[in-house]
Each structure stands twice: as C-alpha cells, then as structure tokens.
Structure 1
C-alpha cells in the first residue's frame, strides 16, 4: 500500500535537502534492535560492542514501534541544511509536554501492552520529565553510537546531497524525486512511495525535506505531521564502502574473491563502493560492457548485488552478503 504526497508549484519551490545528526542517532538506536539492518553496519556494531559502555535505551525503544508512529518531537525536521546535534537536541528539549504526551500515547498504542508497562505509565504520568530524560538519553546515544563516526557519516551524506543537487539542476525536482529510490514514482505532481499502510498527504505549500540516511538503510521513511515540515528519508548512496577502515582488508578481500570468483568478477564487486551502471563500471575497469554486464548478472543472481532503475540507467550495489564477502570477514 502506498504513501502519496501531493505537490503544488509552491511545494516544488519550498522543498530542500537536509542532513540530521539527530536523525542518525535515533535510527542508530533503532538499528540496534533491527537485525535486518545489521548486515549493512558490521564494523559499527563491532565498535559498539567493543566500547562496553552501558546504555539503557529502553525508554526510546518503547517509543519506536516496529510498525507505526514514532513521536515527531524525537526527531523534528532539521533547522537548516546541516544543523548541528546541539541545535537539534535543543529542539527536542523544547517539546511541549502536553503535545509530547499525546504523541507518546499514540506511539505506545502501536505496541500492544506498551502503555500498561511500568515504563510506559511513567512516561505518560510525567511528560515533562519524560521529554528531559529521553533528550538526555538521546544525547548520550549520540556520544556513544554516532559521534565517533560522524565525520565519515557526514562526508557520505554530504556527497549524496551534492550528487542529487547536481541532478536537480539537470532534470528538476519532479524527475529527481523519482530517481531517489526505486520505491518512489513521480507522476502528475504526486509522489507515490511504496510503503506500509495507506497515506495521503497534501503538502499545501510547505514543501518536502529530503534527507539521506545511513542508519535508516535500506528503508524509505515518511514522517512529520503538522506543524512540522513533511520529511522523506531515503537510503544514502555509497554505503557499500562506508565502514572499510583497515587498509589491508580490501586487498585481502580482493585476493580471496579472485580465487573464489575469478579476477574480473571480483574486480566488478570490489568496484561497487557506491552504486554504478554497467557503462560506468566498464569504463572504470577497462573491460568490455558486455563482459561487465555478464558479471553483474551473475553476481546479482548469486545474491551479492541488487539492481535498481535510476532514471534511464540501471544501477548496481552490493547486498549485505556482497559486503561481507568482500571484507573477508573483517
């Protein structure tokens, strides 16, 4: 069932890109409870485990139903295109307690029995304290889970925004929206997103915040009800090479892959640090496009790559299995 976002000419002018360290913190917390996301972040998970710093994330997790509404005040739209965590957490701390309680009640209602637990009752009984405590916990989660890696995360997110900004200049916002992810389709001033649940949204001139995300990967997430500016979070480009840190690991991985798959097929897999087309890979590797195409199909059929249409091109990127195979278990 889809989510449909209906644009006016004013919405096309008011839409913008943004990067949010607060959002990445919130989604990093969620990812710890989402095994389906773990394959995209193995080095990060090992770093978190190695720190041994205890974090009681239960209050935040309780407000994060697997399916359903999470409170908007936990992750309001970024103030600007690249707001700092300090600026964003200040907005969380400024949440109105009555509005926060209403949103918490909705969120808890999406997890059967959550509102009747001791923790759920405590959150609802004193929403002003709940806002303070959850904000403090989010700040601690930022310090432990995200801040040590923020320079590399921010670089990847900024590269994504730069890439899509260039595409925006070439083809306009309507066409760009259809390119951000294969689950998005733009037609007749309406953006339709493959989504869980049926959602209709008139943007009414407020525009749309477009936000790439690392820890939301591979999900597309729509959010924020009035008075917040509507936001659409999409998977960042280039996640395949994000967590490579040991300079020797890629070479070890390529050598092992060459023995397993053959040199050219291993080279194709290794070259996909970010998504790329057959033509781009052929030029990069100095191979015939027909040969690269055959390797890509074989790698895709083996579950090591996925393919998605991006405008008139088909782009390939590694799956978690492909990432793990390339890293050689590092």
Structure 2
C-alpha cells in the first residue's frame, strides 16, 4: 500500500541530505541475511565472507524482519549531514531503555516466533542490556564489513548528494522526487511512496532528511515514527560500478594527449569523486591522483567543489566533450 508524507510550508524549507556510516552498517548486516539482495555486491561479499563468518549477527538479525518494523533506535536517522560512525553509535548507546523496549517488541512481533524466543524475551526483559549488546554487535559489524571500504562508499554517497542537490536547484521538488526513485511521486504537497508498508506522516515542520544508501538497493526505506526525524533512504546512483576494478588502459589517443595515468584518472570521473576514492579505484597513490586532478582542473577539464571534509571533482562541459569523443562510436 502507498505511504504518504504530508508537507507544510515550513517543511518545504527544511529538505536536506545526509550520509550515515551507521545506516550503511545496519544495511550491510541486513544484506548478509538476504541472499536475494546480493547481486550488485558480490565482489564485496566474496571479499568479506571469511571475516563476516566470524561475526555473531544473530541478535541484530532477530530485529530485522523480512517485512515490517525494524527498531528505529538501532538504525536511526542521521544526527548530522556528515557525522562519524563513532558519533552515531554513541547516540545508539544513549537510547532510552523503555523506548527501546517498545521498539524491539514491535520488531519482534513482525517475525513469527521471535517474541517467544529466548533472545527475544531477554531483549524485552532487560532493554538496557539489550541496547549495550546490540550496539557492541553493530560496532563489530562496522569495523569488519564497512569501515575498510568506507572511503569508497562515502565518495559515492557524497557524489549522489551533489548530483541531487543540483537537481533540486534545477527542477524543484517534483523533479527531485521523480529522479530519486520510480516508486515515489509528488502530488499537491504530499510525497507518495509505493512501499510494502502502510505509513502516513505529517512532517509537522521537521522537514525531510534524504539519505542515499549503497546497501538498501532496490528498496526505498521510510517509516520512522515520531519523535524521529522524518527520513527516506533511497538507492544511491552508480552502485552498479561501485565494486568495479580498472578494466585496462585509456583509449590510445587520449593517453597520448594526457599521459596514461592522467587519462585513467580523467575517464574514471563518470560520477563526481574525491582523491581517495579515485586512488583506491585505480590503484594509484593519493598524491599522484591529486597532482593529476590539479592539472586537469587547471586545463579546464574538471571542476572542484568542497562537500563536507573532502573535495569532489567532476568534468566540465569541455571535459565531457573530450571524454565522449575519446570513445569510438560503434558502427
């Protein structure tokens, strides 16, 4: 059934984006439980499988039903546009035990038999202890599953934010929401989402947080209940190439013009990216990538824009024309 988010005038002024390492961590944990969602992330799954097998994720999985409510306190809306995992997990540890008890009981009721399981009963009987144990499990999952790849993931998420911020400026809310996901549409002050759940939320002046996610594909996730910040998590752009490795050398003519490594850096910028992400993708030293980016920017082929703690590079119209012309046209 559709879900509805009703906007007032104040809410229209409070639409913002954020990136959350905690959200990506709980989404990564959920993927390990859902083999049907492995498609885009097989290279990552193969690489982390042995380490993941050593994690005990049963407590977290118990609170992640196939359909229905997952505890808001365990995967909350971001506390800021670029909070660290340490800041976010500290907020989880501060969760009110009684609110957590209600949150966990609701999630357990969505999986047959979970409420009567020994662990489910223990969660409800001692929610303060459950919060500590769940936060510990989430922190272990972060260090094992997400932290090693966080620079690459963060770069993709921040590139998505940069793209959709421009779309908001160019097309307004209707164009933005149409771009984010085919399951959502804007209609006379209401955002309508085609989701498995049934959810109605009056934003009440809190506005809306938009959260790009690598691991939530293909779902759009909403349903945060008051007093939580109204939030929608949606699949980030570009995840199809997220785990791709360099496929070879740049086209010969472009390599002669720019040099092989500089051409590789230039052609890797199909989406805005930062120095660290490009260095990891191409197997080059960050200092070398930084030098190439500076030359390309000075030549008018790239533009640079600061987002949070890093600088994102993308092609200028001249750079786009050069990139397109460097690929032979199939006859």
Q: TM-score, structure 1 length as denominator?
A: 0.75
Structure 1 CA distance, aligned partners of 2:202 and 2:226?
11
Aligned residues of 2:70 and 2:107 also touching (Cα < 8 A): yes
Q: Map Cα deviations across residues 161-208 of structure 1 (whole Å, 9 max, x no partner).
A: 000111111122343122211111112111111101322221111111
Per the alignment, residue 32 of structure 1 pairs with: 32
Question: Residue 48 of structure 1: SS of its match in structure 2?
Answer: helix
Structure 2 CA distance, aligned partners of 1:110 and 1:217?
21
Structure 2 CA distance, aligned partners of 1:52 and 1:37?
16
Distance 1:184 1:286, change over 3 A: farther
Aligned residues of 2:52 and 2:145 also touching (Cα < 8 A): no
Aligned residues of 2:174 and 2:185 also touching (Cα < 8 A): no
Structure 1 CA distance, aligned partners of 2:33 and 2:197?
22
Q: Map Cα deviations across residues 277-296 of structure 1 (whole Å, 9 max, x no partner).
A: xxx998784648xx8xxxxx
Per the alignment, residue 41 of structure 1 pairs with: 41
Any unmatched runs of 5+ in structure 2? Answer: 250-267, 272-320
Per the alignment, residue 173 of structure 2 pairs with: 173
Per the alignment, residue 131 of structure 2 pairs with: 131
Structure 2 CA distance, aligned partners of 1:7 and 1:283?
45
Question: Residue 178 of structure 1: SS of its match in structure 2?
Answer: helix
Structure 2 CA distance, aligned partners of 1:285 and 1:4?
45
Q: Could you say what the CA RMSD is over the residues aligned between the two structures, in angstroms?
A: 2.4
Are 2:95 and 1:87 aligned? no
Aligned residues of 1:53 and 1:144 also touching (Cα < 8 A): no
Structure 1 CA distance, aligned partners of 2:31 and 2:52?
17
Structure 1 CA distance, aligned partners of 2:174 and 2:326?
30
Aligned residues of 1:174 and 1:189 also touching (Cα < 8 A): no
Question: Residue 209 of structure 1: SS of its match in structure 2?
Answer: strand
Aligned residues of 1:208 and 1:229 also touching (Cα < 8 A): yes
Q: Map Cα deviations across residues 257-298 of structure 1 (whole Å, 9 max, x no partner).
A: xxxxxxxxxxxxxx9977xxxxx998784648xx8xxxxxxx
Q: Shift in Å at residue 95 of structure 1?
A: 0.3
Q: Shift in Å at residue 39 of structure 1?
A: 0.7
Q: Shift in Å at residue 251 of structure 1?
A: 4.5
Structure 1 CA distance, aligned partners of 2:159 and 2:324?
23
Distance 1:9 1:48, change over 3 A: same
Aligned residues of 2:65 and 2:110 also touching (Cα < 8 A): yes
Structure 1 CA distance, aligned partners of 2:182 and 2:190?
15
Distance 1:285 1:190, change over 3 A: farther
Structure 1 CA distance, aligned partners of 2:149 and 2:227?
32
Structure 2 CA distance, aligned partners of 1:180 and 1:162?
13
Q: Shift in Å at residue 125 of structure 1?
A: 1.2
Distance 1:65 1:273, change over 3 A: farther
Structure 2 CA distance, aligned partners of 1:94 and 1:21?
18
Are 2:216 and 1:216 aligned? yes
- Displaced runs of 4 or more, over 4 A: 271-274, 280-286
Per the alignment, residue 244 of structure 2 pairs with: 244
Distance 1:284 1:6, change over 3 A: farther
Question: Residue 186 of structure 1: SS of its match in structure 2?
Answer: strand
Per the alignment, residue 115 of structure 2 pairs with: 115
The 5 Å alignment of 1:191-230 reads 191-230=191-230
Q: Map Cα deviations across residues 225-271 of structure 1 (whole Å, 9 max, x no partner).
A: 111111101100001111123x3xx359xxxxxxxxxxxxxxxxxx9
Per the alignment, residue 66 of structure 1 pairs with: 66
Aligned residues of 2:52 and 2:144 also touching (Cα < 8 A): no
Q: Shift in Å at residue 128 of structure 1?
A: 0.3
Per the alignment, residue 232 of structure 2 pairs with: 232
